[in-house]
Chain A
Amino acid sequence: MQASHDAHAAHHDHAHDDHGHHGRAPGLMGWFTTTNHKDIGTMYLWFSFIMFLVGGAMSLVIRGELFAPGLQYVSPEFYNQMLTLHALIMVFGAIMPAFVGFANWMIPMMIGAPDMAFARMNNWSFWLLPPAGTLLVASLFVPGGAAGTGWTLYPPLAVQMGMGMDMAIFAVHILGMSSIMGSINIITTILNMRAPGMPLMRMPMFCWTWLVTAFLLIASMPILAGAVTMLLTDRHFGTSFFNAAGGGDPVLFQHIFWFFGHPEVYIIALPAFGVVSHVIPAFSRKHLFGYTSMVYAIAAIGLISFFVWAHHMYVTGIPLTGQLYFMYATLLIAVPTGVKVFNWVTTMWRGELTFETPMLFALGFLFLFTVGGLTGLVLAITAVDIQLQDTYYVVAHFHYVMVAGALFSAYAGAYYWLPKWTGFMYDEALGKLHFWTSIVFFNVAFFPQHFLGLAGMPRRIPDYATQFADFNVISSIGAFGFGFSQLIFLWVVLKNIKGGETAPAKPWDGATGLEWTLPSPAPYHTFEDAPVIKDEHLAAAH
């Protein structure tokens, strides 16, 4: 194997028969050593789906326990561990790697590059993930169990817990390293490897969202790494960053954590915006409305996201001026986000809409992400948040943005590009079934949680007062329905890999972009010679 942007023979853009020609080494070793962006993208996507199922199973343990008041199946300690691992696995193991998978597969094909800039490093970025995932899951089996702090890892508990906490800290270190290497790769690829004739201000929107995301990652991931390293030295090496007994301040951790944590929210959301910005125009048969304003909106969101962290800390005793500043700054983010929603809706205005599965998921995203965004605005208001902080209203809010937002967008992207990856059309009927079961059960699971939160049910508890019982039953039914609906997706993908109707180079007539000039499935090596870019391949900048 060698870095695949080395000089290659020029003529295999159209060849399906280039196996063996610098292809992947045979067998499992091939997957360990591959530096091909498509192989690595595939591995990222599978890894993230497996982690999604693991994290999903954990959420069902949680929802199972919450089905009825009282303690039925798990101890409170184990509940906390499930809840922490669920979140860490979903955020760092499922959603983030899914979009890195899309980036690997699609960015080189979208900008006419032969591969990622640093192909070998790309391989390392991926292979760091399985050890980190294993550390998280294995920490359940060490004495004292896994970290039970919630994904926010707050001290003092994070300083006191057993070795499961150390494993979580190491996992975070490894995951952070992987993200940072991936980001450096993505930025370099996008900035340096675009084919001639692809200006920044007309490149595909997915590349723009990832460019900003990658900058957010390299600026914020090291902050998290620093925060957990401080936890580690507080635990074992006698420092007192957060240890009040030694003069430290546990609230300081919250500041550092959320200085990472809020940009992290947009690290998850921006690539999701990117995918939707491809799918909606394709199925509206129009160009994306307001390309330039989209770019500025993305950049603005990225920038402002570093200045709003303490909206997670309204009840920690920050002074009134601080509360007011963070409230207004947070509300400000609604402006660029509103611009984006407006542009998506306007893209559909008078379009020739059709509703294939990718479009359904993109519309599901659009509706439900907006619901999550609106509850976010409610929570941004200090006076309201003081009531709602740490209630189920918050749980509902972030699942609307992360599940119905990020996850639905990932599904939209997966259905949209599956034909390009496998060369076959997926089963449309099954895809639609997947969508409708997902969106119905999602709302059954999470909508009632708004009411629970408003009525005062705290989050992160295994037991609750009986007046909350009815809504919890509904929520648990929805969660199990949603969980099992995701197996439909597994079925669709497996079926699609095996075969199906042969996909043309461009299965969606409204789609634009260089990736659709390649045959389906995309050959192992693409764009070894820079393509000739015509105006119709570029996103329209107004």
Chain B
Amino acid sequence: MTALPANNYRLAGGLSLVVLASFVFAYLQPPLYRAFCEWTGIYDVQKADEFRASSVVGRPVTMEFDANTHGTGLRFTALQTSLATHTGELIQVNFRVENLTNHPVTGQAIPSYGPKHVGNFVKKLDCFCFRQQVFAPGEVRVLPVVFALDRTLPDDVGTVTLSYTFFEVPGGVGSTAPVVNGSATSGSGI
């Protein structure tokens, strides 16, 4: 079994194929996991749908919505001020923002809740408050928030108030950096 370079190169070539195959396998894992989970149903990748389907059974709750600004030159209003709903139900509510100034404004909405401790039970799937928003001069925009009330909402809470305040981001005009690249405020209240 003495060294025969040709043998060595052949073996090394074969081993390199193993290396290549493993690298490809790493990239195959995302689709494989998805396929496996859908096939077995052990992890429903469409959780949100299932959530809605079973939503009928929650207990009734009244939601109230409130919108404020804090020196931003924005007009910020809730398009719906109250809503009769149930825990577990998927809700979308829209807010309206108008930039009254003649320059772009970067704003960040900060949520607050009434009663104070229900914040943890408001499960937001998406919210304009997750990132900074830039409004062009005079722009009017409708901003949605999608959420559900957790079924474990304490029984003594019959009305939940969700309130947002828009703050201007200092020096933030024109800053459109998406949250994922680490712009400092992710601003999610939950």
Contact = CB atoms under 8 A, between A and B. Distances in A.
Interface of A: 5, 113-114, 117-118, 156, 159-162, 180, 183-184, 187-188, 191-196, 198, 218-227, 229-230, 235, 241, 243, 245, 249, 252, 255-256, 259, 317-319, 321-322, 530
B8 A159 contact: no
Contacts, number: 97
Contacts of B120: none
Nearest to B43: A319
Interface stretch (B23-31, B97-105, B167-175): B23-31
Contact of B1 (A5, A194, A227): A194
A222 B20 contact: yes
A143 B4 CA distance: 51
Interface of B: 1-4, 7-8, 11-12, 15-16, 18-20, 22-23, 25-27, 29-30, 33, 42-43, 178-182
B1 A196 contact: yes
Contact of B33 (A117, A196, A245, A252): A252
B178 to A, nearest CB: 8
Contacts of B25: 222-223, 226
A256 B3 contact: no
Among all A-B residue pairs, the 4 with the closest Cβ atoms: A226-B26, A222-B22, A222-B23, A160-B182
Nearest to B23: A222
Given A5-B3, A161-B182, A226-B27, 16 more contacts: A184-B12, A184-B19, A187-B11, A192-B4, A192-B7, A192-B11, A196-B1, A222-B20, A222-B22, A226-B22, A226-B25, A226-B26, A235-B181, A245-B178, A249-B30, A252-B30
Contacts of B8: 117-118, 188, 192-193
- A contact face: mostly helix, strand, loop, or mixed: helix
B1 A322 contact: no
Contact of B22 (A156, A187, A192, A218): A218
20 contacts: A114-B3, A117-B12, A118-B8, A118-B12, A160-B180, A160-B182, A161-B182, A180-B19, A188-B15, A193-B1, A218-B15, A222-B22, A222-B25, A223-B26, A225-B23, A225-B26, A226-B23, A245-B180, A319-B42, A319-B43
- B contact face: mostly helix, strand, loop, or mixed: helix
A192 B3 contact: yes
B3 A162 contact: no
A188 B26 contact: no
A259 B20 contact: no
A129 B180 CA distance: 32
Contacts of A256: 26, 29
A227 B28 CA distance: 11
Central interface residue in A220, A249, A321, A530, by most chain B CB within 10 Å: A249
Nearest to B25: A223
Contacts of A222: 19-20, 22-23, 25-26
Contact of A219 (B22, B29, B181): B22
Central interface residue in B16, B20, B30, by most chain A CB within 10 Å: B30
B24 to A, nearest CB: 8
A196 B179 contact: no
Contact of B2 (A196, A218, A226, A243): A196
B1 A241 contact: no
A223 B21 CA distance: 9
Given A113-B3, A191-B11, A218 B26 contact: no
Central interface residue in B2, B42, B178, by most chain A CB within 10 Å: B2
Contact of A188 (B11, B19, B43): B11
A162 B182 contact: yes
Contacts of B7: 192
